[in-house]
Structure 1
Amino acid sequence: MGYFEYEEWLKGMKKMGTDTMEKLKQKLPELENYLQDPIFFNNIYKYAYNFSKIDNQKYIDLEVAIGLWKILLNESNCPIINSFIEFLNVKQHVKVINRDQWSNFLEFSNNIPTDLNTYDDAGACKYYKI
């Protein structure tokens, strides 16, 4: 799993002009506003997956994925997130999430209505992006 070196952390904080915890707290609303931009959010979402992989693994453990989803997604930006996490917890055979599953879940949740009325489990995936 990824981590930030102390010097990297300090460099990032300096770049944001936050050299104290108080300044970092004051900066949080601005940082949260960035997440409203779909392109920025998609980049953060992809970065979170890559950052969380161990070494050269092609997947992340389900526990890690669920933890990240709980941090990145909520009922307002992903109405199906809690149902999806509950589904994954019930399906005992799901142990890991690969990059395609990670990316496609976000696409799916952004393009299929909450009630899933337009979802066709026999249909081709219309939202696959390379």
Structure 2
Amino acid sequence: MGQCVTKCKNPTSSLGSKSGEKDSGKSHAKKGGGGGGAGSGHKEDSKFPADVNGTKSPEVTVETSVAPVLLGEVRREEPEPEGEGLSIARIEEMFLLYKDEHEDAILEEGMEKFCNDLHVDPAEFKVLVLAWKFQAATMCKFTRKEFVEGCKAIQADSLRGICLRFSALMEESRGEESFKDLYRFTFQFGLDADEGQRSLQRAIAIALWRLVFTLDTPPVLERWLDFLSENPCGVRGISRDTWNMFLNFTQSIGPDLSNYSEDEAWPSLFDSFVEWETERRRRERAEQEERRRREEEQEEAGLEHQEAETEPTTDCMEASAWGGL
């Protein structure tokens, strides 16, 4: 975009060729004036407006023929505003502030600066939502097309405009269909396209699950992530099917997992999770029962000890009473 604007505002090569045409026109006018022929003179007068020395008329004719061409070039190459005051030129200029020196994209360093200027953390949910609206193919990267089309999609052509849109974008992400789209996008966003990955690394999947559920956290999420972290089944990667089905799992299975059925078409990893979680809860209940039993025993032992301590005191009082008599 920067090159296009420069070319339109300073078309030196075009003006150079047009300058040559002017010189040629001047020379031709002088020769025509010196010829003195009636036919020739009438032809020159009809083609060019009369002038004192005949040298300025060709300039006027050439300039009037050049101007529409140059204006036409500006109209073609200068981006027109879209929507209500949206400027593609300003979007392109904003992109150039963060663009990498060697690649036509905003990469990790530029992304960090971009987020700092937006006053957001690169690992924040807002940035994920922005990447979703930009339809970014890779983490920590915005191509020129993604950036421009994304800004057009959210109707913002400045940093302030993007910041003002965050509130509406957060609200949009809460919608059922919008969140489903955001959720599915997050899986693809987390893949390493250069490596040709087809499943998410376990650690990245855990981080992205926490991130995508920032606003509405399912009750079972932390137990699921603990299960993956402890890795009882040797989980190394999360497939697209497992990722997508987990959203259905959180929406259809209750927090106590009582309505889960292995007969349904759930991924096998979910069967392992339910078994693991059921066993964990059984152990937790057993531990609670054991703690309660010990507390009751300690309480009973404490009462007996108190009774044992109070009996001698009573005997002493009785003895002192008899002694007084």
TM-score of the aligned structures, taking structure 2 as reference length: 0.35
* CA distance in structure 1 between the partners assigned to 2:150 and 2:181 by the alignment: 17
Aligned residue identity for 2:258:
N
Deviations 1:5-27 (A, max 9, x none): 14421331243222232222221
Alpha-carbon offset, residue 75 of structure 1: 7.3
Q: Which runs of 5+ in 2 are unaligned?
A: 1-136, 267-325
**Residue in structure 2 matched with residue 30 of structure 1 by the alignment:** 168
2:205 is equivalent to residue 65 of structure 1: yes
2:292 equivalent to 1:118 = no
CA root-mean-square deviation: 2.1
Are the equivalent residues in 2 in contact too, given 1:88–1:94 (CA < 8 A)?
yes
Q: Which of 99, 103, 108 is residue 240 of structure 2 equivalent to? A: 99
Please give the alpha-carbon distance, in whole angstroms, between the structure 2 residues aligned to 1:75 and 1:114: 18
CA distance in 1, matches of 2:179, 2:210: 14
The alpha-carbon deviation at position 42 of structure 1 amounts to 1.0
Tell me the alpha carbon deviations over residues 71-114 of structure 1, each in whole angstroms, 9 at most, x when there is no partner.
11147342211221111101152111001110111110111111
- Residue type of the partner of 2:182? I
Matched length: 125
Aligned-partner Cα distance in 1 for 2:250–2:199? 20
Partner residue in 1 for 2:142: 4
Within the candidate set 222, 245, 249, 1:108 is matched to 249
Corresponding residue of 2:190:
52
Identity, in percent, stands at 23
* SS at 1:18 equivalent: coil
Matched, 1:82 2:227: no
The letter for the 2-side match of 1:12 is: G
Larger RCO of the pair (alpha carbons < 8 Å, separation 6+):
1
Instruction: Report the Cα distance in structure 2 between the residues aligned to 1:26 and 1:70, rounded to whole angstroms.
Output: 25
Between 9-18 and 103-112, the greater mean CA deviation after superposition = 9-18
* Preserved contact between residue 75 and residue 81 of structure 1 (Cα < 8 Å): no
CA distance in 2, matches of 1:113, 1:49: 24
Q: What secondary structure, in the 3-state scheme, does the structure 2 residue paired with 1:60 have?
A: strand
* 1:16 aligns with one of 154, 163, 173: 154
Give the residue type in structure 2 aligned to 1:94.
V
Mapped pair 1:42 → 2:180? yes
How far did 1:41 drift?
1.1
Higher helix share: 2
